[in-house]
Amino acid sequence: MELVSKKRLGLYAGRRSRPLADEIASLLNEKLGAVQLVEFASGETYCRYEESVRDTDVFVIATHCEPVNDSIMEQLIMIDAAKRASAKRIIAVCPYFGYGRQDRKALPREPITAKLVANLLQTAGADRMISVDLHSGQIQGFFDVPVDHLTAMPVLEEYIRNEAPEDTVIVAPDAGRVRTAERFAQHLNADIAFLHKRRPRGTKNEVEVSEVIGDVNGRHCIIIDDMIDTAGTVCAAAELLRARGATDVWIMATHPVLSGPAIERLESAFASRVIVSNTLPLTSDKLIDKIEVLSAAGVISSVIESVFEGSSVSDLFHGENQL
């Protein structure tokens, strides 16, 4: 007996990731697969695929949004269910990778939680992981399976080309974003500036931005970061840029975590625009006039297609996705 095997693609989404997943599926000319996700009265999550996933490349799309622990657990359960249903390959698609900032020990007796999440995904049965703009590239090394590290840079760059004035300065808000800011500046033929930031020892959401390196006087500045959490860093950076003579400031980031006082800070910040992607869903109360949301669905869908077909992912980003 001789059989000609056919590759099957299955797209499934966690409950909090449906809008982004629907857009990804549409771009791939696919439909999201049917999966039942409910909670018992005790709060435990139940999952059941309502169609066969045997010998299917199953892509489980679940961004690690608030409540983060619930989002991660739901994805783990979906992966486990697919594994036990004989899926051929299981790819965890995490547009925003939770706990990404806990990637090292800064103080004694701390965990490295990003590594723990990587272990959980692999133990559940993930054969591969896809994510967008990880907080640090070293997280790829926490996995013993392939990791496709995407970047939203093409989407953000296109916005800058279409909307920003010519005399623009790309600003790195801290040392960790310098390399990213340099690439933006090179692609856009723009000047670059750096900010010196320090975080008081033992604090989690407090920052001090003390100095600007670069000429920003009379210039339009765009702060580039991977995420906006409580917005302390970017708002302090915008205020310092104003003090150094910047005429206007835009804040640009891939992941709009926007927790705690973030919205209040952004509303009062010296920034006329806050540009983010849809890797995390935003509730209506967070969609203030300053915020503009760009879609990362095109980037993610192109990578899903490449992984499914077995073609190069790095070629999509000209090798610049390994930041």
Residues 146 and 229 in one domain: no
* pLDDT tens-digit series, residues 10-40: 999 999 999 999 999 999 999 999 999 999 9
pTM confidence score:
0.93
Q: What is the dihedral of CA 193, 196, 197, 200, to 10 degrees?
A: 180
Residues 134 and 170 in one domain: no
pLDDT at 5: 67
The whole-angstrom distance between residue 198's C-alpha and the CA centroid of its chain comes to 24
Residues 184 and 106 in one domain: no
Alpha helices in 88-175 (DSSP H): 113-124, 153-163
Do 259 and 234 meet the contact criterion of CB atoms below 8 Å apart?
Answer: no
pLDDT at 166: 87
pLDDT at 249: 97
pLDDT at 314: 85
Q: DSSP strand E in the chain: where?
A: 9-13, 35-39, 45-49, 57-61, 89-94, 128-132, 147-150, 168-172, 191-198, 208-213, 220-228, 248-256, 273-277, 291-294
d(CA 319, CA 313): 9
The residues that are catalytic are 197
Residue-range definition of the domain harbouring residue 252: 153-294
* pLDDT tens-digit series, residues 248-296: 999 999 999 999 999 999 999 999 999 999 999 999 999 999 999 999 9
Question: Beta strands 45-49 and 35-39: pairing type?
Answer: antiparallel
Residues 307 and 280 in one domain: no
pLDDT at 256: 98
- Chunked mean pLDDT (size 10), the chain, 323 residues: 77 97 98 97 96 97 97 98 98 98 93 98 98 94 96 95 94 88 94 80 60 92 96 92 96 97 96 98 95 97 96 82 59
Residue showing tokens 């709060």: 43
**Residue 159, domain CATH:** 3.40.50.2020
